[in-house]
């Protein structure tokens, strides 16, 4: 019998729930079975639960060890996961379970995202229901949906249902830090009308393809030297235009999710037969330049260009093709500004996330983040202006608020103390550039004091995602230690103490 990758890992209840979740498909918007699992566990434990129309679930647990009358504490995680597969891996995320493998201390999936983001947090919250012992006051476990597509579950959750004034979010990915704030964000969907004209004789079809990039989380890795497949494709197309080749685009497909740095993309284009030799030289020179720039940080980079035997019957006209290339070239991607208050932290960024082509239009999705509303509005205005120049329409959507750090947070002070006792050293107290649901929940319930922590998860939102099992154990110890100390010192909940920032 094949050995389970979770054999010997602690706490056993947490890993049992994580294994169960990874047997349940849970892409964003399809979390119904995962929500049902949460409710079954709650009912088996005798806990009361509530569910809203969006699919969010709130589970209430009475206090343990005589702490029933203490302040209620909320513990929150999201049920959905980013669904990404490595090249050549066939995975139907709507139906197939996640196949898991173990490499020493690291837990991976087999060629796909693992779902540790945020399945480990969900499993930890469920273990509070089923792990025997452990003192805590009354708890509210909040399981949200559709976090990975713009925090939609949290945005639709009625935060007034919460009795708690302290919130522990379990969606962080660095066990050396406590998170006390996060960026806000929004998305703009641009639509460029596309009229595909029948090509006359004398044109050939070519395919330009970029693959093998590292990708990553657009909030966590946006400051790292990671290539964007859309931008690489556009760099080559722009060189073709400047050389006088004037390619006519038939399709452009790139990226996979609003919060993932694009790892791959493909363009089909028409080139005059008498310009094929020039196009080949321009592409070869462009590929060499890109490989020199990115080769060290993107060892898997592959850029392929080939003239295909299949005839291309339709393509966009020169004007539309040129406007699309110019728009994609000029749309911002990467770090816009760094934080002056938190050195080394990104304050404002943009992720050119998706390009999709239909018979009538090209859709381009760009995702923006910032810790300040003014900076976020500024980048939105810049994108809107570029859209107008390209004659593209825009739709702003998926906006969510920033989570500003709370000076004098008693919850953070208590968490720092619990961290010292568990780890024997000081945590970093930081603001992150990724969006966290704390921002939404605090905005909708201003008396809510929040902190976020979690185990060490690397390469989230990519097929290389993995979690370090030993850090799951210590993060669990931090959680139960903190809950016990909050129950032992109820006066700290909601109180104000000396600033810790």
Distance, in Å, from the CA atom of 42 to the CA atom of 39, rounded to the nearest integer, reads 5
The answer to whether the beta carbons of residues 119 and 20 sit under 8 Å apart is no
Please confirm, yes or no, whether 103 is among the known catalytic residues.
Answer: no
Looking at 13, 147, 171, 187, which residue is catalytic? 147
Distance, in Å, from the CA atom of 312 to the CA atom of 307, rounded to the nearest integer, reads 11
The answer to whether the beta carbons of residues 114 and 86 sit under 8 Å apart is no
Looking at 13, 31, 71, 80, which residue is catalytic? 80
DSSP letter string over 86-128?
Answer: -TT----TTTPPPPEEEETTEEEESSB---HHHHHHHHHHHHH
DSSP, collapsed to helix, strand or coil, labels residue 378 as helix
* Structure-token match 């103390």, residue found: 417
Q: What angle do CA 485, 119, 39 make, to 5 degrees?
A: 80
Please confirm, yes or no, whether 147 is among the known catalytic residues.
Answer: yes
Q: Which residues contact 174 (CB under 8 A, 6 or more apart)?
A: 454, 456
Spatial strand order in the sheet of 73-78: 48-51, 57-61, 139-144, 73-78, 166-169, 449-452, 177-182, 428-432
How far, CA to CA in Å, does 273 sit from each of 235, 248, 276, 280, 492? 22, 13, 5, 11, 75
Q: Beta strand pairing status for 166-169 and 449-452? A: parallel
Distance, in Å, from the CA atom of 121 to the CA atom of 144, rounded to the nearest integer, reads 11
- Which residues are tagged catalytic? 80, 147
């Amino acid at each position: 019998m094949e050995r389970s990758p979770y054999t010997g890992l602690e706490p056993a209840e947490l890993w049992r729930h994580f294994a169960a979740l990874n047997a349940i498909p849970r892409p964003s918007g399809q979390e119904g079975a995962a929500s049902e699992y949460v409710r079954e566990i709650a009912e088996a434990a005798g806990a009361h639960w509530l569910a809203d129309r969006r699919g969010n679930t709130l589970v209430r647990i009475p206090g343990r060890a005589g702490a029933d009358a203490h302040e209620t504490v909320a513990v929150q995680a999201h049920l959905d996961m980013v669904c990404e597969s490595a090249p050549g891996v066939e995975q139907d995320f709507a139906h197939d379970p996640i196949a898991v493998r173990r490499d020493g201390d690291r837990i991976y999936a087999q060629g796909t995202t693992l779902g540790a983001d945020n399945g480990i947090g969900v499993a930890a919250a469920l273990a509070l229901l089923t792990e025997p012992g452990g003192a805590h006051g009354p708890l509210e476990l909040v399981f949200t949906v559709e976090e990975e597509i713009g925090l939609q579950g949290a945005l639709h959750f009625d935060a007034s249902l919460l009795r708690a004034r302290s919130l522990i979010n379990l969606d962080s990915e660095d066990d050396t830090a406590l998170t006390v704030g996060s960026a806000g964000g929004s998305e703009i969907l641009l639509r460029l009308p596309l009229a595909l004209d029948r090509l006359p004789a004398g044109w050939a079809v070519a395919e330009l393809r970029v693959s093998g990039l590292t990708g990553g989380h657009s909030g966590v890795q946006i400051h790292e030297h990671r290539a964007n497949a859309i931008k690489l494709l556009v760099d080559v197309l722009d060189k073709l235009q400047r050389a006088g080749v004037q390619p006519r685009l038939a399709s452009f497909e790139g990226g996979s999710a609003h919060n993932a740095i694009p790892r791959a993309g493909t363009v089909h284009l028409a080139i005059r037969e008498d310009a094929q030799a020039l196009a080949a030289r321009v592409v070869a020179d462009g590929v060499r330049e890109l490989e020199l720039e990115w080769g060290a940080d993107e060892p898997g980079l592959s850029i392929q260009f080939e003239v295909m035997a299949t005839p291309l019957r339709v393509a966009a006209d020169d004007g539309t093709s040129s406007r699309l290339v110019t728009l994609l070239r000029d749309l911002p991607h990467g770090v816009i500004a760094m934080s002056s208050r938190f050195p080394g932290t990104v304050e404002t960024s943009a992720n050119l996330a998706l390009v999709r082509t239909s018979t009538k239009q090209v859709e381009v999705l760009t995702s923006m983040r910032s810790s300040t509303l003014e900076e976020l509005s500024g980048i939105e205005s810049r994108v809107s202006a570029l859209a107008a120049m390209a004659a593209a329409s825009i739709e702003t959507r998926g906006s969510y608020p920033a989570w500003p750090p709370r000076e004098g947070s008693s919850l953070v002070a208590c968490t720092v103390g619990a961290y010292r006792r568990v780890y024997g050293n000081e945590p970093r107290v930081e603001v992150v550039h990724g969006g966290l649901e704390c921002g939404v929940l605090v905005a909708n319930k201003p008396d809510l004091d929040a902190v976020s922590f979690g185990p060490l998860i690397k390469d989230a939102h990519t097929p290389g995602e993995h979690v370090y099992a030993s850090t799951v154990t210590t993060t669990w110890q931090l959680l139960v230690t903190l809950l016990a100390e909050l129950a032992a010192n109820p006066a700290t909940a909601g109180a104000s103490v000396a600033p810790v920032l």
